[in-house]
Amino acid sequence: MLSRVADSIYWMSRYVERVENLARFIDVTLNLMLDLPGDEVGLWQPLVYTTGDHELFARKYGRANQEAVVRFLAFDTDYPNSIVSCLRAARENARSVRETISSEVWEHLNGFYNTVREALRGPAAFESPSEFFDGIKLWSHSFKGVFDSTMSRGEGWQIGRLGRLLERADKTSRILDVKSFMLPHGEGPIDSEEDDLQWSSVLHSVGGFEMYRQSHHALIPERVIAFLLLDQQFPRAIQYCIKHADRALHEVTGTPEGEYRHPAEERLGKLRREFAMLNVPAIVADGMHAFLDRLQTRLNEVGDALQSIISARAA
């Protein structure tokens, strides 16, 4: 596969996953506003911090409130990580490889982009924001279904899957980082209604509330953290993402699983081995923020190393 094609499929998949995560984070915050009225900045400012672009937001919008944050994260065409900007980039990447992806993938993504772009021209996203962002999530789910059901399980599909999983791991770490920094930890049940709502929102942000309840029942901070870090069956848990990204990378390179011939394989394999031995109480005691900050740096390093593999692809 040509490097141009591999790179476009990788970023197309990452951008669509980024769009869904942004829609999830915004929608959960909208619902929290109904349960925790009166603290608009306290609810919306952390959402800006999950992007890592809080300084840009402050320069452009100042105070964090619902309208400003929604405009920034969803509709700001000058902000490269907004929903509309990510969809534009995903569409351009898909357009450049239309001969490689299925027509269904292209048509779905093109329709997705046009739907969001049309929303820029009217007030619907602000008049009924939860409905609008629910729609974004459904479009994203459908895209992944179309991608998985119409693409051969070859190199292109594996590269798209790899991009999706790395993006997902990064965003799960970011929402966990911001929320765990703000909220109390512990091995016992939560004794505050507000804390209960906030930790529930962490799980809802990744679509994991019901799956957590099936496994753990009581809402206990350390169990939530363990679920999002280490669960091997929930598809947005970080260990799940790293494990399956590692498998996808080895399918792309042809290196036997457990071995490595490229820096990306070495870095991702090391992360996978370390996650298999993680101790959540020790992480919490040593500092969740420092751990997650290092994790985000290492995921970025994996992404950088991947570019050298993708650039080396040949016809």
Residues 289 and 167 in one domain: yes
Residue finishing a domain among 129, 151, 173 = 151
Task: Say whether both 122 and 158 belong to one domain.
Answer: no
Tokens of 115: 């739907």
pLDDT value at position 315?
A: 42
- Please report, as a single letter, which amino acid is at residue 187: E
List, in order, residues 6 or more apart from 136 with CB less than 8 Å away: 19, 20, 23, 83, 116
When computed from its CA atoms, the radius of gyration of the chain, rounded to whole angstroms, is: 19
pLDDT digits (tens, 9 = 90+) for 200-225: 999 999 999 999 999 887 888 889 99
| Domain termination residue (choose one: 87, 118, 151) | 151
**SS3 state at 38:** coil
Instruction: Say if residue 166's pLDDT is above 90.
Output: yes
- Cα–Cα distance for residue pair 6/160, rounded to 1 Å: 8
pLDDT tens digit sequence for 100-139: 999 999 999 999 999 998 887 777 777 888 899 999 999 9
Let me know whether 115 and 178 are in one domain.
no
The percent of residues above 70 in pLDDT, for the chain, comes to 94
Question: Which pLDDT score is estimated for 123?
Answer: 78
Q: What phi and psi, each to the nearest 5 degrees, are found at residue 127?
A: -80, -35
* Residue at a domain's end among 151, 181, 209: 151
Q: What range does the domain containing 28 cover?
A: 1-151
3 state SS of 121: coil
Q: In 3-state terms, what secondary structure has residue 168? A: helix
Give Cα separations from 287 to 1, 202, 243 (angstroms). Answer: 43, 18, 24
Are 42 and 112 in the same domain?
yes
Do 190 and 295 belong to one domain?
Answer: yes
Structure tokens at 218: 């009581």
SS3 (DSSP) at 287: coil
CB 218 within 8 A of CB 230: no
Q: Is the same domain home to 59 and 111?
A: yes
- Hey, what amino acid is at 136? I
Q: Note whether 7 and 137 are same-domain residues.
A: yes
Residues 45 and 87 in one domain: yes
Pair 227, 290 in one domain? yes
User: Is residue 303 classed as helix, strand or coil in its secondary structure?
Assistant: helix
| Whether residue 201 is found in the same domain as residue 274 | yes
Look up residue 50 and give its amino acid: T
* Domain count across the chain: 2
What percentage of residues in the chain have a pLDDT greater than 90? 69
> Could you tell me if 141 and 194 lie in one domain?
no
pLDDT of amino acid 100? 94
Binned at pLDDT 50, 70 and 90, residue 194 comes out as: confident
Q: Are 219 and 196 in contact (CB under 8 A)?
A: yes
d(CA 113, CA 159): 22
Residue 57 banded pLDDT, cuts 50, 70, 90: very high
CA nearest to 26, candidates 110, 82, 108, 79: 82
Q: What is the C-alpha to C-alpha distance for residues 145 and 137, in angstroms, rounded to an integer? A: 12
More confident residue, 41 or 112: 112
Do both 118 and 138 map to the same domain? Answer: yes
